[in-house]
Amino acid sequence: QVQLVESGGGLVQAGGSLRLSCAASGFISSINVMGWYRQAPGKQRELVADITNGGITNYADSAKGRFAIFRDNAKNTVYLQMNSLKPEDTAVYFCNVRARIPAGNYWGQGTQVTVSS
């Protein structure tokens, strides 16, 4: 009944930009935190950035200064603007939503981001 639909992934050259989006649909309310995680081949899934319902953001050190996370609460959508992309940013990016109604952590299916040299 809760679905996260991700879009915006793709192939980009180093130094380029992408914007990821994630829209939560279904019966969901009281969303506390929306964020993005990524998992590269052979690596653990890691937090890239998240944002609270009050607009407080948190970034991985590797993302600071290059990425920006923001949300549109009216649309239950979170965005990740990625600039100055590097090959090491290549990964599957997963949207994550933490909500209270219904309570739980919700995950998107993942969207591939590939950055070429």
Bridge-based pairing state of the strands 10-13 and 111-116: parallel
pLDDT digits 0-9 by tens, 65-79: 999 999 998 899 999
Q: Report the mean per-residue pLDDT for the chain.
A: 95
The rounded Cα 114 to chain-centroid distance in angstroms is 15
pLDDT digits 0-9 by tens, 76-111: 999 999 999 999 999 999 999 999 888 899 999 999
Strand partners of residue 2: 26
Residues 6+ apart with CB under 8 A from 13: 115, 116, 117
pLDDT digits 0-9 by tens, 9-33: 999 999 999 999 999 998 777 888 9
For 36-61, what is the mean pLDDT?
96
